[in-house]
Structure 1
């Protein structure tokens, strides 16, 4: 089958790889109808990946149809339309059954497309381990674009808003207006934020945020812009959706007294860039973590199916899988207002 593979820094290739097969009797194979490129994929693209492997299939966001199941799979059958959550676990321990796959008691938590251990989903098909716990059926009311955001971007945004404990009437600042940041705006609004302040260096992304009801922070001095917008009080909650040292530091500066900072951007540095004296003076609360997608989906599926959340607004580009290398380049360089990129494996 065709798949996008990582061949070295800034080198994504369209390759022919072996067709996937179930990992074991509890596994399944999903034919991918739509695959997404995530901001965290850019760590791999830039040569700062999560393993030293080369030639592995990248990607951890997929919507598709089950085409093969092992004899141990009980909840899914061939023909089911499913979301493939980015996060995986054993599916049977107490943590995984609750949805908290990152806390898998059997140490089997993982993510697709980080190396050969679990090949990725930017491909014509993907093998899913422990399918009963790592697949989610998609309601007919949810289209492919919206469903694709449910694999990672929307759950991560919702997780960030939830961990920030947004209360009705509060002011929320979102740093980074890629797909997770855009969906953080929508999540904050559903949580009841009175105002959402949108922070990003890219003007087109700020414009998209404004179209969704956020207030873009303009000018070179973001801290001054937020201070002016809040009469010097700062934001009640700051969601950091980039993962860079500078933006984590900025988050603590934009938060007001007794504010909450929720960091969901993937950061690969070992030292947290936290201004501790400032955090102490402000009495800040810090929430930082990675999202277990399965834990958030029971809440998000009905919100999306009912139209209360419309995460498909984050999608800006549809491209064939055959143009995957160019899609990565466009996304990395933030060209032409690019946001969420959806790849079509059939082309």
Structure 2
């Protein structure tokens, strides 16, 4: 089959790799119909990955149709249309039984809890993907929800909802969203759905700010976002901030953006083991600081219902539809935030990759 594979910093290739096989009797194989690139994939692209492995398939956001199931799979069948949550759990521990797959006690380390980080669990930017513990790690896509909406829910929408939920947004409050990629864009939707009176969108890319404005954000177009938000909030700052970048500077900004007794919810991936947390400021301001990894399976029932009912629109973040063969170019363009001449649109941040066989028909 064809897949996107990692061969070193800024070296993603469209490669021929062996078809995946059933991992064990609890596994399934899914033919991918949609895959997308997450901002976290850029960490791998930059060489800031979670292992030293090379040649593995990348990607952890995909939907498709089950083509094969193991003998011990009880709740899935060949032909089922499913989304594949980015978080990977087991079917045996108590945490996974509650849907909290990020806390799985049977799987150790990031490379076993997410696709496409190493050879331990091959990624889903491919024509086929092997799914372990398929009863837990595939979710039936309800009628009326498109593949495009479903692929965004495999990670971005669920992660944004998790962070908004942990920010404890209350009706009438103000919320700052830092980073307006797919997670930040959907976080704007979620904050408004939870009753935020005003959502401030912060991002250096003009097109991202424009898209957030369409979804109801008041975008910050200023050299000093903290000063601008304080001005808009009568000198107080936002009630809550959702950080969707993961850089030291943006995590710091989130803490400065919120008012006293404010709440900071960090979703961006930060691998800095020596991050310097400003403890005195947090204590004096009585800040609440939440950080963690999303258990997609736990969030999905709510999101599927909200999407089915038309309250959420996950697929609005998709700006490009490309064949899998253009995956390497998509990585480069996402990294540089500029599209090459062969790609007409210039909004530069969300991509839906189509397996080669399907791209020929769309």
**TM-score range, shorter-chain basis?**
over 0.9
Q: How much has 1:185 moved relative to structure 2?
A: 0.3
Residue 135 (1) aligns with residue 145 (2): no
Residues 248, 273 of structure 1: 8 Å contact kept: no
Residue 274 (1) aligns with residue 277 (2): yes
Q: Which of 225, 234, 237 is 1:234 aligned to?
A: 237
Looking at structure 1, the residues matched to 332 and 103 of structure 2 have their Cα atoms a distance apart, in angstroms, of 34
Residue 310 (1) aligns with residue 313 (2): yes
Pairs within 5 Å for 1:241-252: 241-252=244-255
Q: How much has 1:48 moved relative to structure 2?
A: 0.5
Residues 248, 274 of structure 1: 8 Å contact kept: no
Residue 83 (1) aligns with residue 80 (2): no
Structure 1, 90-99 or 166-175: larger mean CA deviation: 90-99
Pairs within 5 Å for 1:291-330: 291-330=294-333
Structure 1, 99-108 or 77-86: larger mean CA deviation: 99-108
Change (3 A) 1:181 1:273: farther
Residue 222 (1) aligns with residue 225 (2): yes
Deviations 1:96-144 (A, max 9, x none): 0111011113235510000000000000010000000110000121111
Looking at structure 1, the residues matched to 313 and 107 of structure 2 have their Cα atoms a distance apart, in angstroms, of 34
Tell me the equivalent position of 1:26. 26
Q: How much has 1:94 moved relative to structure 2?
A: 1.3
Residues 64, 83 of structure 1: 8 Å contact kept: yes
Pairs within 5 Å for 1:83-102: 83-102=83-102
Residue 341 (1) aligns with residue 351 (2): yes
Q: How much has 1:337 moved relative to structure 2?
A: 1.8
Deviations 1:258-298 (A, max 9, x none): 00000010111112342222111211000001101001011
Looking at structure 2, the residues matched to 72 and 150 of structure 1 have their Cα atoms a distance apart, in angstroms, of 27
Looking at structure 2, the residues matched to 232 and 273 of structure 1 have their Cα atoms a distance apart, in angstroms, of 26
Looking at structure 1, the residues matched to 89 and 315 of structure 2 have their Cα atoms a distance apart, in angstroms, of 27
Higher strand residue share:
1
Deviations 1:319-338 (A, max 9, x none): 11000000001111122222
SS of corresponding position for 1:34: strand
Unpaired runs of 5+ residues, structure 2, are 339-345
Looking at structure 2, the residues matched to 117 and 178 of structure 1 have their Cα atoms a distance apart, in angstroms, of 28
Q: How much has 1:149 moved relative to structure 2?
A: 0.9
Q: How much has 1:56 moved relative to structure 2?
A: 0.2
Q: How much has 1:88 moved relative to structure 2?
A: 0.5
Looking at structure 1, the residues matched to 173 and 320 of structure 2 have their Cα atoms a distance apart, in angstroms, of 33
TM-score (structure 2 length as normaliser): 0.94
Tell me the equivalent position of 2:42. 42
Residues 92, 133 of structure 1: 8 Å contact kept: no
Tell me the equivalent position of 1:65. 65
SS of corresponding position for 2:151: helix
Tell me the equivalent position of 1:331. 334
Tell me the equivalent position of 1:106. 106
Deviations 1:237-264 (A, max 9, x none): 0000000000000000001110000001
Number of residue pairs aligned between Structure 1 and Structure 2: 347
SS of corresponding position for 1:117: coil
SS of corresponding position for 1:182: helix
Residues 6, 45 of structure 1: 8 Å contact kept: yes
Tell me the equivalent position of 2:342. none
Structure 1, 118-127 or 92-101: larger mean CA deviation: 92-101
Pairs within 5 Å for 1:2-21: 2-21=2-21
Looking at structure 1, the residues matched to 319 and 276 of structure 2 have their Cα atoms a distance apart, in angstroms, of 32
Unpaired runs of 5+ residues, structure 1, are none
SS of corresponding position for 1:116: coil
Looking at structure 2, the residues matched to 238 and 144 of structure 1 have their Cα atoms a distance apart, in angstroms, of 30
Tell me the equivalent position of 1:164. 167
Q: How much has 1:170 moved relative to structure 2?
A: 0.4
Q: How much has 1:339 moved relative to structure 2?
A: 2.3
Looking at structure 2, the residues matched to 339 and 168 of structure 1 have their Cα atoms a distance apart, in angstroms, of 30
